[in-house]
Amino acid sequence: MSGQVKRIAAPFSDETARSLKAGDSVLISGVIIAARDAAHKRLVETLDAGGKLPVDLKGAVVYYVGPSPAKPGRPIGSAGPTTSGRMDAYTPRLIREGLKGMIGKGYRKPEVVEAMKQYGVPYMASVGGAGALIARSVKKYTVLAYEELGPEAVAAMEVEDFPAIVVIDCEGNDYYTQGQAPYREL
């Protein structure tokens, strides 16, 4: 890790996505998409039925989140990450549709990592348990699709300096593995 924090804009260009390396700390500003497993399932079902997605995934960065209700004067409540593995069954398909970055917590399945490498998509982690702090970076929250899913609806989140760490980069380098290596018994 370089020790520097990279300030980047979302949606991601191919250049931005490929510039991120495992271990990089990033602050993201722009628009990211909030969606969890129920929304991912609906998106893939729409594609499987030959339908058009209700949101353009070209360059999109998705945050696996189901925020709590907003307090007065705030766009959302606590907004901590959901375990990313819950989206793994749907992720390769959405990557093929143009998804360019993901934020969550935890490990990813090998088939997801292969799709990330093939299409140049990084996976970033946000700190679980810090949902109230993360919510401060969200300036606006607008439901785009599947409103009936409540906090699992697809939504646009306008963010400023959203904190994350690149866990798996476009080359498949895994910061979880790299970070644990010095502590493993040989």
Task: Provide the CATH number for the domain around residue 48.
Answer: 3.20.130.10
The 10s digit of each residue's pLDDT in 4-59 is 899 999 999 999 999 999 999 999 999 999 999 999 999 999 999 999 999 999 99
Q: Which residues contact 89 (CB under 8 A, 6 or more apart)?
A: none
The 10s digit of each residue's pLDDT in 85-128 is 999 999 999 999 999 999 999 999 999 999 999 999 999 999 87
Q: Is residue 109 part of a domain?
A: yes
Count of domains for the chain: 1
- Has residue 164 got a pLDDT over 70? yes
Range of the domain at 111: 7-180
Q: Is residue 175 part of a domain?
A: yes
- Quote the CA–CA distance of 117 and 171 in Å, as a whole number: 5
Tokens of 79: 């907004």
Q: Is residue 138 part of a domain?
A: yes
Q: Is residue 166 part of a domain?
A: yes
Q: Is residue 185 part of a domain?
A: no
pLDDT score for 112: 98
Q: Is residue 148 part of a domain?
A: yes
Q: Which residues contact 112 (CB under 8 A, 6 or more apart)?
A: 88, 91, 92, 95, 123
Nearest by Cα to 160 from 72, 87, 75, 84: 75
Contact criterion met (CB below 8 Å) for 84 and 101: no
Task: Name the band, by pLDDT with cuts 50, 70 and 90, for residue 1.
Answer: very low
pLDDT score for 185: 66
SS (H, E, C) the chain: CCCCEEEEEECCCHHHHHHCCCCCEEEEEEEEEECCHHHHHHHHHHHHCCCCCCCCCCCCEEECECCCCCCCCCCCCCCCECEHHHHCCCHHHHHHCCCCEEEEECCCCHHHHHHHHHHCCCEEECCCCCHHHHHCCEEEEEEEECHHHHHHCEEEEEEEEEEEEEEECCCCCEHHHHHHHHHCCC
Q: Is residue 1 part of a domain?
A: no
pTM to 2 decimal places: 0.93
Distances (CA, A) of 112 to 88, 170, 179: 6, 11, 20
Q: Is residue 125 part of a domain?
A: yes
